Amino acid sequence: MSLSRFAVQRPVTITMFFLAILVLGGISASRLPLDQLPDVTFPSVTVSTRYRGAAPDTVEKLVTEYIEKAVSTIDGVQEVRSVSKEENSTVVIDFGWDKDLTEAVNEVREKIASIKRFLPDEVEEPRIWKYDTSSQPIMYLSFHGDGERYDVRQIAEDRLAYLLQQVEGVAAVDVWGGKRRQIQVRLDQSRLEAVNLSLLQVVDALRQESLSLAGGRLEAGSLDYLVRPLGEFRSLQDIAHVVLTHHKGVPVYLQDVGQVVKGYENERTQTRINGEEGVILAVRKQSGGNTVQVADRVRARLPAIQQTLEAGLSLDILYDRSRFIKDSIRQVRNTAIQGGLIALLVLFLFLQNLRTSCIIALSMPISIIATFILLYLWDISLNWMSLGGLALGIGMLVDNSVVVLENIYRHRSLGLPAVEAAIRGGQEVTVAIAASTLTTLCVFLPIIFVQGTIGVIFRELALTVTASLLTSLGVALTLVPMLSARLMKSGAWGEEGRQRRRARQRLHALGSTYRHSLDRVLCHRGLVLAVAAGTLILASWGNRKIGSELLPAVDEGLMYGRLEMPVGTKFAITDGVMRQMERIIVQETPEIQAAFARVGVTSRGGGGTHTGFMFIKALDRTQREKSLPVLMQELRQRLKAIPGARIRIFERPSDLRRLWGGGRSERIEIDIQGYDLEASTALAHRLSQVLQQVEGVSHTLLSTEDQIPEIQVQIQRDKAAALGIRMADILNTVKTALEGTVATTYRDGGDQYDVLVRLQEQDREGWKDLEQLLIPTPTGRQVPLHHIATLIRARGPMTIERRAQQRVVTLQVASDGSRDFSSLVREIEERVRQVPLPQGLSLRLAGEREAMQQSRRDVVLAFTLALLLVYMVMASLYESLLHPLVIMFTIPFASIGIIASLWMTGTSYSVPVYIGIILLAGIVVNNGIVLIDYAQRLRQQGRRSREAIIEAGGTRLRPILITTLTTVLALFPLSVGWGEGAEVWAPLGRVVLGGLSVGTLFTLFFLPILYSLVEEMRERIWRWRGQKCES
């Protein structure tokens, strides 16, 4: 028994089944979480190791190289990259997407354990963790207050961070900015020398005077007492009255050689929010947590937290990532709804009957709601990919129902009863619509099974479209026949009104015109074939003028600003330049909503006193007239007026682009590999000068900082040994004098502060102060540092980067967006080849170009598999190897529409475009399947090929037009590219819209020519074989 017959004969059963679908689908939809992207775990493992006191080159040689060699032998490793900084080594191991990360972490841990014995004893235990997209903050909160009345930094760390971490789903809260309170002991060098007291003696004395130890137990009478001596400092006076030594029989107190004051830690960083000092709290979600849900919980908790704060303190939301996610998801949802309404309008205009339009209209929401059940079972959230799949498939959801309903209508027109017409109409097209659905699904199977980034990111889109089309097929074969049998009145579709009669006459006239035109076309087959081939060649020529890129830019309204002064610039000077940047960006640019600046750090963290970083949030797209590229270019021009500074304004990469980044910061990067860092850096500077002249390049940037000026203290070991001075005493004295040493802690109520010992500022201002620094000897005498050491001015690297176990200097090239990416890359490659390459160095153009090449390989594989599967399905349908080839000729001619749509809209080739082309390969053949399937039925009834194809075209014209227009017009809102995040889906929609429109035109006129030629050729072969057999 066929599905259509079962559905018509069991209406109550079918009704109950779909009511259950609606209930379960509603429950599933309410439980689907919202997020921007699928939950993807990037195949990367990081090993971080600290080596206290080691310079970057020492860290590289004694730590990084050992780790790199060990982990490179792990199976599945694609690339090993590292950064060696002062006291820190970071090694990142990138694996293929098919690698199980839990297994990878265990293997990395085993390799690290095997080399520990080769590492220096001072190296701390390496930390190993997986890369997680959730490591990016989901919210930035700004905390302001009167710094004189309140310790804003301490309140943020001790109270606010704790309260926010109690929110479900919050993993950590980072606190940036503000000042940490500190008790500072500022020592006078001349007074210390007068009483023959060293810095280390002061530190040791404070440590001995502030202790809290258990004193044991004392039994007295019937009680057992715990004795607890209270040796901690209770006031600053206690610290000032510590006896350091005795000089000539007189005690020397700390207050005699220095001052004890309350101060702040000298972090050499500064954070300002919208130009005013404040604190940033960066909220990070737990791995696997939902961004929107966690952000909503944090937002709901903020009023209660605000009530706990004293007057004058305020906690506000500076940036909420969930807002963009909600807006973009809402935009995709609205696009799907608009497309659905347009599709229903098209149906009504063709059918001119409310009841029949309602039958089709019901199939769409039921298919969508049923899809939610499968999404819930497959653990797929409502994100860009899944909702994008629904928006893509919204016009296709009614295609099967339209074909079934139109065939039922045809049988009713022939006089069959409603029930019989519903059964026969559904049965006749079951194979055709199942085949057309399978051809569409076949193009998604390769995407699901492709192991590259495309497969990982777009898998949920493919699964969503698959689910929606399968449910729409079930609805078309069951619900549509059942409702048609019940809602049809006597006659064809009930009483025929004037408006409906006119519509039928117009459709009949359209069919007659098409039959006449098709007859004329079949009379001039050679001319039509020549015109079609010429059009295809012309389109191929125009295709060269279309650019390409990895992903379209998404206007999230987020920018970064980077400030660089000459290396070694004082913090105060850098801070002054940063204030000028803030004034121009925040106060003088109305399109900017909020920003925070951090002096002394870069966007990657780290940095120095010569660097600064800004996070800039522009107004929403609906609230500003200027696009983000235009706004960035204007800011670059205005910031050029600041003298002596290198300022770069660039777009914050979208989360989708980050997944393709492979650890890259810019879209175009040039790796210069070679051991000699000076030669690599010199070549990078030459390339930078050349590439800055290229049109479309906004700025260039070296990944490694210029060498930092340093004073090297070369200790003369023989002189130090002769005086009995230990190396540790020299190093600790220099550190205490300049940077300071934490000797102990001081408690004030429930708060605890470090007690820092350091020379007063006027004793550590210059070269001579360092030379005269007193070093203690075992005899109690002190000698100046210059007696046992030589001070040399030098320059040393701040960071050493490596890729593939080789040193590398990376030149980052930023695009200003004024030209297409592919042509920019080609010109950069040409300019780079013209620069002489020194011996021992090698170049590699990396960044987005590499990702584009890999994505193209994945797309070619997926497209080839899709074509093969589509052919197999059609060959099985027709039991023929020739007819599927005829239908598949539609695909290359659909490329004319693809190229035209990209050229007219100024759209470049990108991953969404490639996904649209793959999708189109399965859609564009559906009309050909319906057409050829009916023509074959007529041929089996004895019709000649020319007569059969003309009759099939006229009969199937209406369902072909309806299905094409519903799909094309439903994609129009998606193709326009309005709203948040629409830039990702607009290229995909344009490709399908243009390709399907032109492909349908070729299906109606070009495909009949091929079919007639093939059939005539087969007839000749049969006649020739018959004559041969007779002879």
Domains and CATH numbers, the chain: 1-31+353-491 (1.20.1640.10), 44-131 (3.30.70.1430), 136-181+273-324 (3.30.70.1320), 182-264+709-796 (3.30.2090.10), 523-547+858-1031 (1.20.1640.10)
Q: Which residues of the chain have pLDDT under 50?
A: 149, 490-495
d(CA 897, CA 890): 11
The pLDDT assigned to 499 comes to 58
Vertex 236, ends 232 and 238: CA angle to 5°?
A: 55
- Mind listing the pLDDT tens digit for each residue in 899-917? 999 999 888 888 889 888 8
The pLDDT assigned to 493 comes to 44
d(CA 627, CA 388): 24
Secondary structure (DSSP) of 193-251: HHTT--HHHHHHHHHHHSB-----EEEETTEEEEP---BS--SHHHHHT-EEEEETTEE
d(CA 620, CA 979): 10
Q: Using the structure block, give the residue that is written with the tokens 């097209």.
A: 429
The pLDDT assigned to 113 comes to 92
Q: What is the CA radius of gyration of the chain?
A: 37
Vertex 878, ends 877 and 880: CA angle to 5°?
A: 125
Question: Token pair of 378, please?
Answer: 């497959």
Question: Token pair of 982, please?
Answer: 């629409």
d(CA 915, CA 990): 12
- b/e per residue, 301-337, with b = 16+ CB within 10 A? bbeebeeebeeebebebbbbbbbbbbbbbebbeebbe
d(CA 852, CA 585): 34
> In this structure, are residues 999 and 894 in contact, taking their beta carbons and an 8 Å threshold?
yes
CA dihedral sign, ordered 910, 40, 450, 982: negative
Question: Token pair of 101, please?
Answer: 């990360």
> In this structure, are residues 758 and 188 in contact, taking their beta carbons and an 8 Å threshold?
no
- Mind listing the pLDDT tens digit for each residue in 660-719? 765 677 788 899 998 888 888 889 889 998 998 898 888 888 877 666 777 888 888 888
DSSP 8-class letter at 906: T
Residues near 244 by beta carbon (within 8 Å), at least 6 away in sequence: 197, 201, 202, 205, 252, 253, 254, 257
d(CA 417, CA 588): 76
Vertex 618, ends 617 and 619: CA angle to 5°?
A: 125
What is the model's pTM?
A: 0.78
What are residue 934's phi and psi, to 5 degrees? -70, -35
d(CA 155, CA 151): 6
The pLDDT assigned to 134 comes to 54
